[in-house]
Amino acid sequence: MDLDVIRRGIDALREYDTDLDLFGAREHRYRFQPPLDEATLEDVETRIGVRFPADYRAFLTRLGNGGAGPYYGVHGVRPDASWTRFGPFPFTEEWEPPTDDEGYDEAMEAAFEGLLPVSEHGCGYRSHLVVNGPAAGQVWGDWTCVGEALAPQAESFGAWYHGWLEASLREVLSERIEATVRDETGWNVDRRLLGLLPPPLVGGDEKPEVQVPRLVRRAYLALYERRTDDARDLLAQARAVGAEGDHEAARLALARAVLLREEGRITDALTTVEHAIPRNGWWYDRAWLHRLRVELLLTQNRLDDAHAATEEHIARCPNDDFGYVRRALLRVLTDSPSAAEEVLRADAPLGRGVRSAGHPRPADRTPVALRLRARRLAWECRRWGHAADAPRFDAIAAH
C-alpha cells in the first residue's frame, strides 16, 4: 500500500469534489482521524489474540485511525472497546447464509469469526477485514442482511483501498472536466491525473446506460484537450448506441450543444438546447440545459431573451445556484452593479447548490451561498466584459 499515493489522491478528491458528491464523502469529508500510536494498537492486538495485516496497521498508525475511504469511510479501532479474542474465519470462498431457521443463529455467529468491520455501505451492508484464518488479510463484503452472500472483495486491505481511490478519482475528475467544458468555469485539472479517466470501451456487452455516459465523458475530455474531431466521433458513437432514456438523451443533447458552441455554431447550439429542454423530465438535467441556454443567448447579446430564459431557469430549477447568479449578472450587464448586489443578497437564502459552487450544504447555507455566488458572479463579470465591477463581488466573496 503506497501511503504517498493515497495522500495525494485524497488531496485531489478534496480539491475537486468540492460539493462532496461522491458516495459517502459527506460522512468522511476526505479527512483522516488522528493516527493511532503503535503501543495502543499492539495492546488491542494482544487482547484480540491476532496481529492486524501490515497494510491496515500502516493505515491506522501513519494515515489515520479511520476516516476517508470506501463507502462511508474506514472504521478506526477503538482502544477502549470491549474486545474479545478473534477465532479463525472459516471460509475461503463465497458463503451464503442458510435458508431455514434451524441452526441459523449458530451458523451466522460462526461465519463472522475472525472478521473486523472496516466500512459501512449503508442499508446494513458492510466490508470486513479478515484478521484470522486461511483468508487473513483479505477484505470481504457482507450482504447477508438481505439473505445474500458473504464474499471476497479484495485480496488485501491495500488493494481494496487503492481500487476505491482510483475509481473515485475517475468519477470526480470526469465530472470536473464536464463542468469545466460545459460552464467554462476556468477550472483546471491536474494533467498528471488525466490517465485515471475511464479507458475506451473494449467490448459490446455494456448496457446503453453504461456506454452512453462513458462515451460522453470521453467526448468532454476531447473537448477539454481541444480535440474537436475526436469529440464529434465519440458523440456519434454514443448516438449510435441508441439509448432512449431521458437521462442519456439529455446528456447527449447537452454535449452536442457544447460541441456546436466550441465550433462557433451558436445558433445551432441554441436550437439543440431549446429542443431538448421541454423533452426532458429530469429537473437535474434540465438545470444544465438551462444554464447553457442562457449562456448562448448572452453570447448573442440577446439580453431581453437571456433575462426571460434566466427567470424560466429559476422557476423550473429553483435549487440551482447558477440561475440566481445569472439573475444578478443581468443587472450588471444593464449597467446596474448596485442593483446586482441587491439581487444577489436578496436571493442568498434560495437554492441548494446542485453541484454549482462547492459547499458543504450546512443547515443555514445563506452566508455560504452568498459568498460562493459572489465569487462566481465576479468571474462572470470578467468573462462578459465588466471587469471593473468584479472587485465589488470579490469583496463579498472574501467575507
List the one residue out of 284, 216, 211, 222 whose CA is nearest residue 252. Answer: 216
List the one residue out of 241, 256, 249, 330 whose CA is nearest residue 286. Answer: 249
What pLDDT was estimated at residue 360? 46
Q: Is the pLDDT of residue 203 over 70?
A: no
What pLDDT was estimated at residue 37? 93
| Mean pLDDT, residues 221-230 | 91
Cα 229 from Cα 144, distance rounded (Å):
49
Q: Are 182 and 164 in contact (CB under 8 A)?
A: no
Q: Is the pLDDT of residue 211 over 90?
A: no
Mean pLDDT of the chain: 87
Q: What is the pLDDT of residues 293-341, one digit of tens each?
A: 999 999 999 999 999 999 999 999 998 889 999 999 999 999 899 999 9
Longest dimension (CA), the chain: 79
**Backbone φ and ψ of 150, nearest 5°:** -105, 115
| Amino acid type, 19 | D
Region label for 71, one of left (φ > 0), alpha (ψ between -120 and 50) or beta (otherwise):
left
What pLDDT was estimated at residue 204? 54
| Mean pLDDT, residues 347-376 | 73
Cα 256 from Cα 260, distance rounded (Å):
6
SS3 42: helix
- pTM score, two decimals? 0.74
Cα 314 from Cα 150, distance rounded (Å):
47
Confidence band, pLDDT 50/70/90 cuts, at residue 214 = confident
SS3 224: helix
Cα 50 from Cα 223, distance rounded (Å):
53
| Mean pLDDT, residues 260-269 | 95
| Mean pLDDT, residues 23-38 | 93
Neighbours of 226 (CB within 10 A): 9
Sign of the CA dihedral with 65 first, then 69, 71, and 72 last: positive
Q: Is the pLDDT of residue 35 over 90?
A: yes
| Mean pLDDT, residues 124-141 | 93
Q: Are 231 and 258 in contact (CB under 8 A)?
A: no
What pLDDT was estimated at residue 119? 95
List the one residue out of 154, 1, 21, 6 whose CA is nearest residue 68. Answer: 6
Supply 306's cell numbers.
Answer: 437571456
| Amino acid type, 59 | F
Sign of the CA dihedral with 316 first, then 322, 324, and 328 last: negative
Q: What is the pLDDT of residues 136-166, one digit of tens each?
A: 999 999 998 887 888 999 999 999 999 999 8
User: In the chain, what percentage of residues exceed pLDDT 70?
Assistant: 92
